[in-house]
């Protein structure tokens, strides 16, 4: 018991514990320091931290602060002998990695484990919920001595604060690392769309949690140069739609000409919103202003500290990098799409009768999709799909059977990896599928064919038959309508065929004018 | 807003205490506006006792700087350290304002 008399007083230890959070942000170092305090209050050489799993039914061993395995004093209480080929080896027993929660864990007690008898001391959160267990040993007693229990009671609250905070911050770091990995992965796979909105919202959420700030928002410069709120949390209702972020007159004064300096211009507007404090930092990339990241507090006394600024800087860097990558990828995609469209256009130009075919199909398909009630995103997908739908012919041997069958798949593969609505590649891939399953290349049926593909199929049919070729005149609208009715339900989705028929009757489709064949038979 | 005003070598030194956020920014604007009142005004805001400044506070400082420059007066900020200095850097306003390490340096520069 001599050791206990020399141990620091509880208050000193409590202060030392809380100081750990300020001294280091390294998770393991914080847990080391916390377990050193456990060793000090128990006078035992080995300490273990168990933390509760979600649900609280089990604990897992999170951290160990024990004598080195080679320490001869650690052999007690009864090392295991392990048979090894060519000799024998002494191995050191280890505490269990996982344990079930028992009702008696709520109080200090002595437990038996593979590393001998240990004190088991509870760590309770603010709500009294058990968030973990501290274990220390080896001990000879069968009960926790009163002096140890008293010292534990003195440090119980700061210990819960330190362990709880260290774990929250570590979880945040891990979530950030995972988000960063997602961004990196998206960038590396020059193929998949970078889901900027989702990641910006996630980073904002993490930044708010990390800085314990109530509210914030991320505004990003759009293609037109306007700042638009892309993610907001905890801001007044309607904030994203009503806030004026125009650089010349809005909430912020922000000029790339002044090195990207960013500050609040309209203090009165911030006051009207009930904002107490607002910290906004510019997201700059090589002198180019990409956006603004702002943290906001409404409550009195809630202020940003050094730690918040460090986190804010880290998150700002993440968002900046992500926006920059998305911008690079976006402009790459735009150029690539223009190239693919150019290829489709060049295919059309090979024959006089098909000149402008892709553009005509695109316009007709867009009108039919809208008439059939597709939403705006699907209508846009049909429009772009129409501009490209036969581009796969450029990648297959002209006039061959393979060319006919494979061109939808080849065409779709050319655009499938761009950050476009999946309806674009989907419509290209399925514009030769039949509603009854008798089309190609996949033989899809009914609703399995994307709506954009069903609309594009009708459009291409109408454009092809209304275009005169070498031996056949272009068909007039009434004949097209009759043919549509005939094929409704077999080749075409009846709803799309009906929509197209309505437009034909209104003469609202810009089809090639009916004309004689381009050559006499 | 808790502050004292002194004068040295023709430079008015405004020493403010406490954080500068939205709730205090308008007061600071009035305070600085009253000091930057003529082309001959030389005003140094000492923020060595300001633990935190936010984007609204910085907005007031930049406005004061522009107003002073516009009328031929001079305005500087001294004593920004720690959190306050970092906020200037992060908002990229450190190059826009005339920042001085100490009141002495600020006075020497503004008086000259």
B71 touches chain A (CB under 8 A): no
Question: From CA B82, how far away is CA B112, in angstroms rounded?
Answer: 28
Q: What is the phi/psi pair of residue A206, to 5°?
A: -65, -40
Least confident residue range of A109-123, A197-211, A291-305: A197-211
B90 touches chain A (CB under 8 A): yes
Tell which residue, A76, A28, A80, A70, has the closest CA to residue A49.
A28
Average pLDDT rounded to a whole number, residues A453-466: 94
Residue A302's pLDDT band, with cuts at 50, 70 and 90, is low
pLDDT in tens, A8-24: 455 677 777 777 777 77
pLDDT recorded at residue A136 = 95
pLDDT recorded at residue A177 = 67
pLDDT recorded at residue A81 = 45
Average pLDDT rounded to a whole number, residues A425-451: 93
Least confident residue range of A238-242, A323-327, A344-348, A477-481: A323-327
Q: Using the beta-carbon criterion (under 8 Å), do A309 and B83 form an inter-chain contact?
A: yes
Question: From CA A292, how far away is CA A319, in angstroms rounded?
Answer: 10
Q: Are A513 and A474 in contact, with CB atoms under 8 Å apart? A: yes
pLDDT in tens, A471-521: 788 889 999 999 999 999 999 999 999 999 999 999 888 887 654 555 544
- Strand residues in A144-245 grouped as ranges (E): 215-221, 227-233
Contact residues on chain B for A304, CB-CB shorter than 8 A = 52, 54, 83
Question: From CA A165, how far away is CA A307, in angstroms rounded?
Answer: 13
User: How many other C-beta atoms are found inside a 10 Å radius of the C-beta of residue A438?
Assistant: 11
Q: How many helices (H) and strands (E) does chain B have?
A: 4, 5
3-state secondary structure of A113: strand
Which residues are A119's β-sheet partners? A110, A136
Q: Using the beta-carbon criterion (under 8 Å), do A282 and B91 form an inter-chain contact?
A: yes
Q: What letter would DSSP give residue A462? A: H
**Chain centroid to CA B37:** 15
3-state secondary structure of A423: helix
pLDDT recorded at residue A320 = 80
Q: What is the phi/psi pair of residue B42, to 5°?
A: -125, 110
Average pLDDT of every residue of chain A: 82
pLDDT in tens, A368-388: 999 999 999 899 999 999 998
Contact residues on chain A for B51, CB-CB shorter than 8 A = 303
Residue A338's pLDDT band, with cuts at 50, 70 and 90, is confident
Dihedral sign from CA coordinates of A43, A47, A51, A56: negative
pTM score > 0.90 for this model?
A: no
pLDDT in tens, B59-102: 999 999 999 999 999 999 999 998 999 999 999 999 899 999 99
Contacts for B54 with CB less than 8 Å, ≥ 6 apart: A264, A277, A278, A279, A304, B19, B20, B21, B22, B87
Q: Using the beta-carbon criterion (under 8 Å), do A267 and B26 form an inter-chain contact?
A: yes
What share of chain B has pLDDT > 90, as a percent?
87
3-state secondary structure of B50: coil
Dihedral sign from CA coordinates of B48, B54, B58, B59: negative
> For chains A and B, what is the number of CB pairs under 8 angstroms?
96
Residue A3's pLDDT band, with cuts at 50, 70 and 90, is very low
Question: From CA A189, how far away is CA A193, in angstroms rounded?
Answer: 9
Mutate to test the interface with B, among A304, A312, A319 (most CBs of B within 10 A): A304
pLDDT recorded at residue A354 = 77
pLDDT recorded at residue A193 = 43
Q: Which residue of B has its CA nearest to A300?
A: B23
B60 touches chain A (CB under 8 A): yes
pLDDT at residue A289 greater than cutoff 90: no
pLDDT in tens, A27-73: 888 899 999 999 999 999 999 999 998 888 899 999 999 887 767 67
3-state secondary structure of A435: coil
Residue A403's pLDDT band, with cuts at 50, 70 and 90, is low
Average pLDDT rounded to a whole number, residues B8-37: 94
Which ipTM value was assigned to this complex? 0.90
Q: Are A119 and A4 in contact, with CB atoms under 8 Å apart? A: no
Nearest to A270 among B22, B82, B91 (CB): B22
pLDDT at residue B7 greater than cutoff 80: yes
The distance of B61 to chain A (nearest Cα, Å) reads 10
CA angle A127, A110, A129 (to 5 degrees): 10
Tell which residue, A263, A264, A328, has the closest CA to residue A290.
A328
Contact residues on chain B for A277, CB-CB shorter than 8 A = 19, 21-23, 52, 54, 56
pLDDT recorded at residue A520 = 43
Mutate to test the interface with A, among B29, B57, B59 (most CBs of A within 10 A): B59
Question: From CA A16, how far away is CA A114, in angstroms rounded?
Answer: 31
pLDDT recorded at residue A264 = 92
Contact residues on chain A for B19, CB-CB shorter than 8 A = 277, 303
The distance of A289 to chain B (nearest Cα, Å) reads 12
End-to-end CA distance of chain A: 114
């Amino acid at each position: 018991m001599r050791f206990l008399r020399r141990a620091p007083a509880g208050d000193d230890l409590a202060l030392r514990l809380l100081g750990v959070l300020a001294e280091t942000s390294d998770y393991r170092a914080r847990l080391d320091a916390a377990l050193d305090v456990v060793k000090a209050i128990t006078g035992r050489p080995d300490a273990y931290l168990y933390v509760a799993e979600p649900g609280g039914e089990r604990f897992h061993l999170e951290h160990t602060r024990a004598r080195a395995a080679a320490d001869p004093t650690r052999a007690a209480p009864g090392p295991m002998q392990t048979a090894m080929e060519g000799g024998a080896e002494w191995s050191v027993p280890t505490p269990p990695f996982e344990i079930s929660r028992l009702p008696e864990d709520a109080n200090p007690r002595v437990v038996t484990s593979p590393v001998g008898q240990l004190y088991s001391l509870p760590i309770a959160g603010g709500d009294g919920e058990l968030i973990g267990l501290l274990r220390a040993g080896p001990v000879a007693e069968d009960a926790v001595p009163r002096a140890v229990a008293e010292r534990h009671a003195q440090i119980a609250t700061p210990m819960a604060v330190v362990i709880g905070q260290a774990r929250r911050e570590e979880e945040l770091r891990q979530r950030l690392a995972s988000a960063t990995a997602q961004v990196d992965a998206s960038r590396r796979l020059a193929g998949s769309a970078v889901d900027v909105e989702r990641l910006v919202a996630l980073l904002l959420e993490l930044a708010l949690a990390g800085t314990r700030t109530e509210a914030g928002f991320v505004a990003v410069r759009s293609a037109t140069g306007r700042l638009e709120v892309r993610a907001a949390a905890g801001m007044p209702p309607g904030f994203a739609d009503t806030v004026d972020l125009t650089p010349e007159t809005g909430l912020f004064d922000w000029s790339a000409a002044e090195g990207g300096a960013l500050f609040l211009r309209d203090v009165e507007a911030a006051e009207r919103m009930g904002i107490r404090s607002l910290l906004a930092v510019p997201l700059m990339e090589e002198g180019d202003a990409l956006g603004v990241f702002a943290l906001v507090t409404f409550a009195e006394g809630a202020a940003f500290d050094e730690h918040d600024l460090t986190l804010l800087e880290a998150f700002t860097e993440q968002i900046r990098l992500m926006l920059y990558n998305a911008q690079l990828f976006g402009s790459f995609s735009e150029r690539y799409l223009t190239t693919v469209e150019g290829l489709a256009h060049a295919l059309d130009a090979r024959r006089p009768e098909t000149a402008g075919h892709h553009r005509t199909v695109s316009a007709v398909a867009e009108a039919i999709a809208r008439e059939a009630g597709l939403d705006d995103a699907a209508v846009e997908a049909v429009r772009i799909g129409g501009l490209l739908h036969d581009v796969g012919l450029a990648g297959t041997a002209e006039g061959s059977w393979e060319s006919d069958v494979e061109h939808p798949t080849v065409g779709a593969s050319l655009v499938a990896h761009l950050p476009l609505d999946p309806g674009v590649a989907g419509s290209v891939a399925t514009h030769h599928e039949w509603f009854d399953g008798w089309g190609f290349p996949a033989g899809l049926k009914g609703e399995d064919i994307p709506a954009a593909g069903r609309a594009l199929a009708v459009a291409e049919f109408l454009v092809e038959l209304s275009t005169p070729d070498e031996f056949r005149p272009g068909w007039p609208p009434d004949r097209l309508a009759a043919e549509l009715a005939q094929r409704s339900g077999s080749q075409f989705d009846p709803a799309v065929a009906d929509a197209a028929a309505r437009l034909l009757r209104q003469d609202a489709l810009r089809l090639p004018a009916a004309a004689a064949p381009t050559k006499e038979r | 807003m808790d502050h004292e005003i002194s004068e040295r070598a023709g430079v008015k030194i405004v020493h403010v205490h406490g954080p500068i956020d939205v709730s205090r920014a308008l007061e600071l604007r009035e305070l600085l506006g009253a000091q930057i009142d003529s082309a001959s005004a030389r005003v140094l805001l000492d923020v060595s006792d300001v633990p935190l400044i936010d984007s609204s506070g910085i907005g007031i400082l930049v406005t004061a700087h522009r107003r002073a420059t516009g009328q031929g007066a001079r305005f500087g900020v001294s004593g920004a350290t720690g959190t306050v200095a970092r906020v200037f850097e992060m908002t990229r306003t450190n190059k826009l304002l005339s920042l001085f390490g100490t009141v002495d340096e600020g006075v020497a520069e503004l008086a000259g």
